[in-house]
Amino acid sequence: MSRNQGRGSNKNTSRGGSSSNKRTSYSRGNSPIKNQGGFTKPSNSTKPKAPKKSNPDEVRLNKYIANSGICSRREADVHIATGLVSVNGKVVTEMGYKVKPGDEVRYDGSRVNPEQKAYVLLNKPKGFATTNSEGKGRTVMDLVANATNANIRPIGRLGRNSKGLILFTNDEAVVKKFTNSKNGVPRLFHIELDKNLKHEDFKKIQTGFKIDGSLIEVEEISYIDGSSKKEIGLKIKNTGNTIIRTIFEHFSYDIVSIDCVAIAHLTKKDIPRGHWKHLTTQELNNLKML
């Protein structure tokens, strides 16, 4: 029998409805079968379940951590798998876990902040308290109110009547770098005293001395070129300026003014008093490499 004859024979049989010795088998379960209309359908058709709608406010845990700037998503997966991440006080190791609004996420014990990181450098004038607390009169937060929507706070302190550079951020890793007791970040101050700093006192401050049994050390101390010996350059890694007053009061000097002129490589160049700027990518990278 020719190929064309075979096709014709099958066609006539299916359309003519003639009986056949072979019975149609329906033992194929849900595999498709051909109906008279020429299209296929499952033999046991059931309606597919509608996909579960995702909540647009929920975020995958690894993305939530990555958005905080701690690490990449791939690295976040490793941290999650090793049990370093908790949500609302419970360790989560499930890949694909979704964080809901209001959840408290912690990595290695520290709160994870998913908002975009911000780094604002302010040249503080006199008359502003270095605090983010309300009810303290004029504060440095008033000066940077329009800098960013992020919840930034100042690193370290300058007294109300002190002036100079203050860095604000919501990046906990940078805050820890500044407040690290062993390393820290150097800050350079221009200090004016009520009288000339004696050479013997200069040397004691330079080499280190003790107050109530505690060793006080500075990074550098120098006289200001072209000025009287009342004006001193002092580099320290302490984040507050209380230590500066402690040092000079110990040697019976009163401080007339304090001006923070540099934080590591960051300077007041192009930042007028009372103004601020965002750190550039290069400035931030240099800061993180300290």
Q: In this predicted model, which residue has the larger pLDDT, 20 or 280?
A: 280
Does residue 272 have a pLDDT over 60?
yes
C-alpha span between 162 and 160 (Å, rounded)? 6
* Domain residue ranges of the chain, discontinuous segments joined by +: 59-111, 115-180+270-289, 186-263
DSSP lists the bridge partners of residue 105 as: 87
Is 160 in contact with 127 (CB distance < 8 Å)? Answer: yes
Residue with the two structure tokens 């080499």: 207
Say if 115-180+270-289 and 186-263 have the same CATH topology.
Answer: yes
Q: Which pair of tokens denotes residue 139?
A: 């504060």
Q: What does the alpha-carbon distance between residue 174 and residue 218 come to, in Å, rounded to a whole number?
A: 22
Pairing of strands 255-263, 163-169: parallel
What pLDDT does 173 receive? Answer: 83
pLDDT of 1 higher than 70: no
Q: Is the predicted pLDDT of residue 40 greater than 80, yes or no?
A: no
What pLDDT is attached to residue 13? 45
The pLDDT of residue 133: 75
Q: What percent of the chain has pLDDT over 70?
A: 81
What beta strand segments (E) does 159-273 contain? 163-169, 187-193, 209-211, 214-216, 220-223, 231-236, 255-263, 266-267
The percent of residues above 90 in pLDDT, for the chain, comes to 56
| pLDDT per residue as tens digits for the range 74-109 | 999 999 999 999 999 999 999 889 998 889 999 988
Mean pLDDT of the chain: 84
- Per-residue pLDDT tens digits for 145-190: 999 988 899 998 899 999 999 999 988 888 888 887 677 899 999 9
What is the pLDDT confidence band of residue 51, given thresholds at 50, 70 and 90?
A: low
Q: Write down the pLDDT at residue 26.
A: 47
Contact 253, 194 (CB under 8 A): yes
Q: How far apart are CA 243 and CA 261, in angstroms?
A: 17
> What topology is assigned to 115-180+270-289 in CATH?
Alpha-Beta Plaits (3.30.70)
Instruction: Please give the CATH superfamily to which domain 59-111 belongs.
Output: RNA-binding S4 domain (3.10.290.10)
Positive or negative torsion for Cα 182, 186, 187, 190: positive
pLDDT of residue 67: 78
> What confidence tens digit (pLDDT) does each residue in 212-263 have?
999 999 999 999 999 999 999 999 997 777 899 999 999 999 999 999 999 9
- What does the pLDDT read at residue 181? 64
* 3-class SS of residue 79: helix
Q: Give the model's pLDDT for residue 56.
A: 67
Q: What is the pLDDT of residues 14-32, one digit of tens each?
A: 444 444 444 544 444 445 5
Is residue 114 predicted with pLDDT exceeding 80?
no
Q: Which CATH class is domain 186-263?
A: alpha beta
